[in-house]
Amino acid sequence: MNTKKTTWILIILALAVLGAVLALLLHRPSGGLGEVLVTVDGEEYGRYPLDVDAEFTVETPWGYNDVIIHDGQADVHEADCPNQICVNTAPAREIGDMIVCLPHKLVVEIVPEDAP
Amino acid sequence: MKRNARLTVYLSVLTAQAMVLNWVEGLIPMPLPVPGARLGLANIVTLIAAYTLPWPSVLLIVAARTILGSFLFSGLSTLLYSLSAGLVSAAVMLLARRLMKGDGRSILAVSLVGAIVHNLTQLTVAALVLENIRVFMAYLPWLLLLAIPAGLFVGGAGRLLLRYVDRLHLDF
């Protein structure tokens, strides 16, 4: 491989890593208390405290997602979406964690308490 | 006419290969921090197309494989994401290939750009559909980082494959 090619590849790699690091630094808010925010199609569906165990079914126009809040973490444990990505996502625990179900336009995320 | 028939067959073969690769990939479990992240094996085909075909044909293959693939395998709900990301990344790969002139032209670099742009497009569309900017920021670092091994793998595979495709002396 000649140097010109290597230079291009290195430039692209550097840009990708730089973008990733910047996004990581910008995104992670510091600790504090969080609550569970559920949105469907961009609209707030409900807010739930993380420290109260709960189990509920979110009915979206495209299907349902069963959410369990237990031991201070929120998890989508069942859904009738085709790809099951939300079910396979690890439980959300800290502020910034999220579970997304694209087919149902559903987001379960941990946000700081009383944040918009 | 003869040339036209050859082109049609070549386009069909590439489209079918991309669809099968996409399906096979879905069978391989990916234990990654980002659920749903994929290697993007179908991009091998887009890459080969970008190196052997004029740009309208490349975009045609991408459109055909994502639309047919969504009918057969993945369902219509994912078509918006695969179609937009496929078309945008193919367009940018064609552009990148054109920009890197002469001996600086690298299939690995083109593939990397394609993988990064594919992930960026899909994430942008997802954030727009969900009307949630936090989704974009939360997944951006992982999708950018994962695009690197995926892009290198696809580019490496494309480079090996292109040696054989070049022997066919396709001249479209």
Q: Are B44 and B65 in contact (CB under 8 A)?
A: no
Q: Do A38 and A25 belong together in one domain?
A: no
Q: Do A7 and A50 belong together in one domain?
A: no
Q: Do A9 and A26 belong together in one domain?
A: yes
Testing the interface with B: which of A3, A9, A106 to mutate, by most B Cβ within 10 A? A9
Q: Do A23 and A74 belong together in one domain?
A: no
Q: Is B10 on the interface with A (CB under 8 A)?
A: no
In a domain, B26, yes or no: yes
Q: Is A19 on the interface with B (CB under 8 A)?
A: yes
Partner A, chain B 124-163, Cβ-Cβ below 8 Å: 126, 129-132, 134-135, 137-138, 140-142, 144-145, 147-148
Domain count, chain B: 1
pLDDT exceeds 70 at position B152: yes
Torsion of CA B82, A18, B145, B120, to 10 degrees: -10
Three-state DSSP class for B16? Answer: helix
Q: Give me the interface pTM, i.e. the ipTM.
A: 0.84
Look up the pTM and report it. 0.89
Task: Provide the shortest C-alpha distance from residue A47 to chain B (in Å).
Answer: 16
Compute how many other C-beta atoms are within 10 angstroms of the C-beta atom of residue B46.
28
Task: State the pLDDT at residue A116.
Answer: 56
| Minimal-distance CA residue of chain A relative to B138 | A27
**Average pLDDT, rounded, for chain B:** 90
Structural domain for A81, as ranges: 34-112
Domain of B161, CATH number, reads 1.10.1760.20
Place of tokens 């994912």: B78
In a domain, B172, yes or no: no
**Residue A55 Ramachandran class (φ > 0 left, ψ -120 to 50 alpha, else beta):** beta
Structural domain for B11, as ranges: 2-167
Q: Do A44 and A97 belong together in one domain?
A: yes
pLDDT exceeds 70 at position B50: yes
